[in-house]
Amino acid sequence: MKGQEWYQATEVAEEYEEKRFSRGGRLIDRREKQAVLDALAPVDEKKVLEIACGTGRFTVMLAERGTDIVGLDISSAMLQQGRHKARQAGVADHLEFMRGDAGRLPFPDDHFDAVFAMRFFHLADTPATFLSEMRRVAKEQVFFDTFAGPSTRSLYNWLLPMGSRLYSPDDVEKLLDETGLTLVDAEHDWVLPYGFYRKIPDSVASPIRNVDETIVDSMVGDSLASVSYWSTAVE
In this structure, the number of other CB atoms found within 10 A of the CB of residue 218 comes to 11
Give the Cα separation of 92 and 80 in Å (integer). 12
pTM here is 0.91
Give the Cα separation of 91 and 123 in Å (integer). 29
Determine the angle formed by the axes of helices 25-40 and 57-64, rounding to 10 degrees: 50
Q: Is the peptide bond before 106 cis (omega within 30 degrees of 0)?
A: no
User: Which H or E element spans position 215?
Assistant: helix 202-216
Per-residue pLDDT of the chain (235 residues; tens, 9 = 90+): 545 555 556 665 667 677 788 899 999 999 999 999 999 999 999 999 999 999 999 999 999 999 999 999 999 999 999 999 999 999 999 999 999 999 999 999 999 999 999 999 988 999 999 999 999 999 999 999 999 876 666 566 555 555 678 999 999 999 999 999 999 999 999 998 888 898 899 999 999 999 999 999 999 988 899 999 999 999 8
Contact assessment for residue 24 and residue 192, using Cβ atoms and an 8 Å cutoff: no
Contact assessment for residue 140 and residue 114, using Cβ atoms and an 8 Å cutoff: yes
Q: Is 41 exposed, middle or buried (0-12, 13-18, 19+ CB in 10 A)?
A: exposed
Beta strand ranges found along the chain (DSSP E)? 47-51, 68-73, 95-99, 112-117, 138-148, 166-167, 181-189, 227-234
Q: Is the peptide bond before 150 cis (omega within 30 degrees of 0)?
A: yes
What are the angstrom distances between the C-alpha of 229 and each of 48, 117, 216, 221, 224? 17, 10, 13, 14, 14
